Amino acid sequence: GAGGRTLGSLAGGFLTSAFGWPAVFYVNVALAGIAIAAAFAIIPRDPKRHEHRNFDLPGALAVTAGATLLVFTLVQGPDYGWGSPMILISAMLAALFLIVFTVIEARSTDPLMPLRLFQNRSLVAGMTITFLYMATFGALPYFLTVLLQTVHGFTALQTGLAFLVPSIAIAAGTQFGERLATRFSTRSTLVGGMIVGAAGTALMVLGASADSSYAAIVPGLIVSGVGQGIVWTAMWIAAASGVAHDEQGVASGMACTTLNIGNAIGMATLIAIANSHVGGLTGEALKTAIADGIQVAFWLAAAGIFVSLLAAFALPGKGK
């Protein structure tokens, strides 16, 4: 996975420079087709199930509608205005559908998301961490792209090459995370990864000014990337801890859901704050304001990573 991220950064820059932005999306269609075919050929069939289960279609429709409307509200709120009728209606419908989903799950004999799983402390902590992970770490690539292309004038290919540094650091971090989680506890691994990641993200602020070079931000990218990789590995272990084998897929799905919602909320919040002082500016003044906003976003991301330590401390220690 980490190798794919590294290769994807370089390939994305090349495709964008050579064929334009649409090429990045077209190539994913072909890659998805190859992945689907490979899945049928490589992944073994599930064993035959003797018990009969009904698919929770009402729950699936309700949560899909609610999550979609929630993400739309968070992403489009800054553009339409938080007080606009469209955003207000979207927010109310999102809340309504999610409430309906909760009621359906509480009454269903075969729920899509058994509410009793929320009694699992490790799963709840893992979901909280995945949410904060994408609200903080997950927003960094966007701001790095803006910094490199808008402030420093990098091309798409140059940006792809620049992303090789954090990609390799993340790949190394995932390997460290696996070893640390085996030797120590998941909690200790998460705490260590978050401290490293927060320190690296704060260090990125020093290299994010309008008059800094890419070399100035590289140390922060490396440290933050290693921390990000460590947390990535350990947070999925945390989410799966204490969950029955036949409910591992449900637990993973719940953690993935909070991961994506966290990305939407984090991006919308940090972009709104970072862009709050760029209106009406042009030229060098605009570049300086954008860089200043990115520095604020990096500080806030680092603070958010530290906040996620609270969720990590809720996990049991080694041997408990």
214 and 237 housed in the same domain:
yes
Let me know if residue 14 belongs to a domain: no
Can you give the residue range of the structural domain that contains 70?
Answer: 55-109
Residue 4 is assigned to a structural domain of this protein: no
Residue type, 305: I
Residue-wise pLDDT tens digits, 190-209: 999 999 999 999 999 999 99
Confidence at 318, pLDDT banded by 50, 70, 90: low
Together in a domain, 93 and 218: no
Domain boundary among 80, 109, 138: 109
Q: Which of 109, 130, 148 is the last residue of a domain?
A: 109
**Over residues 170-186, mean pLDDT:** 90
Provide the token pair at 263.
Answer: 């990305």
From the list 315, 316, 320, 278, the residue with the least C-alpha distance to 297 is 278
Q: Where are the alpha helices (DSSP H) in the chain?
A: 2-19, 22-42, 57-80, 85-107, 121-136, 140-146, 156-162, 164-183, 186-204, 214-240, 248-274, 283-313
What proportion of the chain, given as a percentage, has pLDDT over 90? 51
Q: How confident is the model at residue 15 (pLDDT cuts 50, 70, 90)?
A: confident
Give a yes or no: residue 220 inside a domain: yes
Q: How would residue 5 be classed by pLDDT, with cut points 50, 70 and 90?
A: low
The tally of domains found in the chain comes to 2
pLDDT (tens digit per residue) in 49-59: 656 677 889 99
Mean pLDDT of the chain: 88
Q: For residues 92-121, give the mean pLDDT.
A: 91
Distance CA 147, CA 144 (A): 5
Instruction: Please indicate, yes or no, whether residues 136 and 166 belong to a single structural domain of this protein.
Output: yes
**Largest distance between two CA atoms of the chain:** 68
Residue 61 lies in a domain: yes
Mean pLDDT, rounded, for 299-313: 92
Region 216-228: mean pLDDT is: 96
Say which residue, 136 or 79, is predicted with more confidence: 136
CA 49 to chain centre: 34
Same domain, 307 and 175: yes
The answer on 128 and 73 residing in a single domain is no
Structural domain contains residue 12? no
Q: Is residue 92 part of a domain?
A: yes
Domain end marker among 109, 144, 175: 109
Question: What is the identity of the amino acid at 161?
Answer: L
Question: Tokens for 74?
Answer: 């968070």
Is residue 13 pLDDT above 80, yes or no? no
Give yes or no: residues 135 and 184 share one domain.
Answer: yes
Sort 175 into a burial class: Cβ within 10 Å, 0-12 / 13-18 / 19+. middle
Most confident of 1-5, 18-22, 261-265, 296-300: 296-300
pTM of the model as a whole:
0.85
Task: Please tell me the predicted confidence (pLDDT) of residue 122.
Answer: 87
Residue 244 belongs to domain with CATH number: 1.20.1250.20
Q: Does some domain include residue 46?
A: no
In a shared domain, residues 161 and 104: no
User: What's the rounded mean pLDDT across residues 79-99?
Assistant: 93
Look up residue 314 and give its DSSP letter.
T
Q: Please check whether residues 183 and 66 belong to one and the same domain.
A: no
Residues 284 and 153 in one domain: yes
Q: For the chain, what's the residue count?
A: 320
Co-location of 244 and 154 in the same domain: yes
Residue 114 lies in a domain: no
Please, which pLDDT band fits residue 94 given cuts at 50, 70 and 90? very high
Structure confidence at residue 265 (pLDDT):
87
Residues 75 and 152 both lie in one domain: no
In this predicted structure, what is the pLDDT of residue 6? 62
Same domain for 204 and 92: no
pLDDT of residue 51: 63
> Looking at per-residue confidence, does 91 or 1 come out higher?
91
